[in-house]
Amino acid sequence: MAEQQTDDTTFSINKNMWPVYPLGGFQILAFSGIYIIIVPLSKIFWPNDPYHAFEMGLLITSMFWMMSIAGLIFGRFIDKYNRKKILLMVACARGMSMLLLSFTMEGQGIRSWLFFYVFALTFSLFAGGNYPTVLSLAHDIVPMNMRSRFFGIYGIVRNVFQLGGFLFSGFLIQAGLWRIYFSSIGLALIISGIIMFLHLEEPKRGAQRDELKTALKEDSVKYEYQIDKETMRSTMLSKTNLVALIEGISTQLFMGSLTILFLPYIQNPPHNISPLNTSLFIAIFGISAGVLGRIFLARASDRWASDNHKIRLYLIVFALFGGALFFVILFYIPLPLLSEQQGADLSYVFSFPVFWIMGLMFLISQSISALYEINQGPLIQEINLPEAQGQIVSWNKFLENISFGSGPLVSGIFISFIGENYQIVSLFIAFFTIPGILLWIFALNWYKEDKERIQELLDKRAKEINSQRRK
């Protein structure tokens, strides 16, 4: 077994974690591609019918809910078994599902939809094992003072692949090559899973906890504790963990509503920005936001939190408030009234300074919001035991995915009742961040106690491991 202890001053995140990057990228590319081509898919199933909103909405919602439920199942296995093997199984199962989706029959109506629905749900079922496994591996590979940087880099990779998925799938669908999209991504998932399995080291659990480093220094010594009901109640159900679980419901409703509200606002009359120009807008300013928010702010987060770990809570509060504020501002920027021909002309659209101003607001909103992701992960890791990393993230993702998947429905309800007044709807959507802001402010009083409880347990276990090693 490879030496598990690392020198924080020489540790390279990319050298040790690169095998999970392409796998995570193709995972999100596959899902985002399905999400963005939902209207063309309806035409593939029902070529002579108008858009089947109910069936396609049920498909997307079912995928999110299946992913949520599956995460609870995988969480238990992640904390007990080899995580590399779990990731390989996830990659192969999702890759095979994508390959099978490429065999969907065209023009068979409900029969085509049912075939697609079954394998799309299979694809989502195994999605529940992806992110919790990566987080559990990172907990035992990446030093604590580099966690935000890892989540930042991993987020950039996923962000770039997601935007690439929008463009890649859109191009192939427009060219009538949708089968190539599903088959090529399926093969990419399987290949990237095999590469990950061959090149990633399975770490020793608890190897990066300061309390356990000395006790686990010898390769023959392992951390073999498993969570029980009493420890679960005192740690996984701590006040700070409950905050992370509960606030995710409202926060992800906000997050899930953003794209589905922004796209029709700029694509429908009277603005009529074409889908291609919209994708380019999101790619230009979204990727910039990803780089700025997840590289520079991630490094800064690690530096600030090294002296006071509670700073991560303040950064999460700032991310929720600032992200919501600049999101609302987007809808109050006066856009020009364009015809469909003008909205499809790239040079004409971007000749308006107002679009660059909107792009700047979009970039700022995305950058600030990135602070939420790159600080929540390390914070949750710190207040949970090594044998609970997979389960606690699965609990969190269960609620978040259900809420995120409900975001489009909530936005649709608001638009239906209020009318297409996107400015007012954006304000109502932004209010979903208020519960999260208040809960994280309350958590400032509980975080230190919850963190110290974990430290005390690990100190006790380190002494037990040392005493057993000396026998």
Give yes or no: residues 402 and 456 share one domain: yes
> What band does 11 get if pLDDT is binned at 50, 70 and 90?
confident
CA distance 152 to 445: 27
Give yes or no: residues 100 and 209 share one domain: no
> What band does 92 get if pLDDT is binned at 50, 70 and 90?
very high
Does 31 have pLDDT greater than 60?
yes
CB-based contact 132:397 (threshold 8 Å):
yes
Report yes or no on 5 lying in a domain: no
pLDDT in tens, 439-451: 999 999 999 899 8
Per-residue pLDDT, averaged over 177-192, amounts to 90
> What band does 191 get if pLDDT is binned at 50, 70 and 90?
very high
Per the structure, the count of domains in the chain is: 2
> What band does 96 get if pLDDT is binned at 50, 70 and 90?
very high
> What band does 250 get if pLDDT is binned at 50, 70 and 90?
confident
CA distance 152 to 319: 14
The token duo for 241 is: 């963990």
CATH number for the domain harbouring residue 274: 1.20.1250
Per-residue pLDDT, averaged over 264-272, amounts to 79
CB-based contact 405:259 (threshold 8 Å):
no
Cβ of 471: how many Cβ atoms within 10 Å? 4
CB-based contact 336:266 (threshold 8 Å):
no
Report yes or no on 1 lying in a domain: no
Per-residue pLDDT, averaged over 8-14, amounts to 76
Cα of 344 vs its chain's centroid, Å: 31
More confident residue, 183 or 7: 183
Report yes or no on 420 lying in a domain: yes
**283: number of CA atoms within 13 Å, CB side?**
14
More confident residue, 344 or 54: 344
Give yes or no: residues 241 and 190 share one domain: no
Cβ of 79: how many Cβ atoms within 10 Å? 22
Does 22 have pLDDT greater than 80?
yes
Give the total residue count for the chain: 471
Query: Which residues are CB-neighbours of 38 under 8 A, at least 6 positions away?
Result: 56, 59, 60
Report yes or no on 6 lying in a domain: no
- Structural domain boundaries, residue 288: 204-471
pLDDT at 293: 63
Q: The whole model's pTM is what?
A: 0.72
Q: What is 259-296 written as a DSSP string?
A: HHHHHHHHHSTTT---HHHHHHHHHHHHHHHHHIIIII
Per-residue pLDDT, averaged over 202-220, amounts to 76
Give yes or no: residues 79 and 148 share one domain: yes
Give yes or no: residues 183 and 212 share one domain: no
pLDDT at 2: 38
Cβ of 216: how many Cβ atoms within 10 Å? 25
CA distance 301 to 304: 5
Average pLDDT, the chain: 82
CATH number for the domain harbouring residue 61: 1.20.1250.20
Q: Which of 164, 183, 203 is the last residue of a domain?
A: 203
Is 104 buried (19+), middle (13-18) or exposed (0-12) by CB count in 10 A? buried
Does 188 have pLDDT greater than 90?
yes
Place of tokens 């003072």: 145
CA distance 28 to 158: 6
pLDDT at 3: 38
More confident residue, 411 or 48: 48
**Helix pair angle (20-36, 147-174), 10° resolution:** 40
Give yes or no: residues 270 and 301 share one domain: yes
> What band does 169 get if pLDDT is binned at 50, 70 and 90?
confident
Q: Which of 183, 203, 223 is the last residue of a domain?
A: 203
CA distance 169 to 150: 28
CA distance 137 to 132: 9
Per-residue pLDDT, averaged over 239-250, amounts to 88
**Helix%, strand%, coil% for the chain, nearest 5:** 75, 0, 25
Per-residue pLDDT, averaged over 241-262, amounts to 83
pLDDT at 4: 43
Give yes or no: residues 124 and 217 share one domain: no
Q: Given phi > 0 = left and psi -120 to 50 = alpha, else beta, which region is 176?
A: left
Q: Which of 149, 177, 203 is the last residue of a domain?
A: 203
**Could you tell me the sign of the dihedral formed by the alpha carbons of 48, 54, 60, 66, in that order?**
negative
CA distance 349 to 198: 47
Give yes or no: residues 38 and 115 share one domain: yes
The token duo for 382 is: 């710190």
CB-based contact 79:136 (threshold 8 Å):
yes
pLDDT in tens, 293-349: 667 787 788 888 877 878 989 999 999 999 889 888 988 988 888 888 888 888 898
Report yes or no on 181 lying in a domain: yes
- Cα three-residue angle 385-386-392, rounded to 5 degrees: 65
> What band does 59 get if pLDDT is binned at 50, 70 and 90?
confident
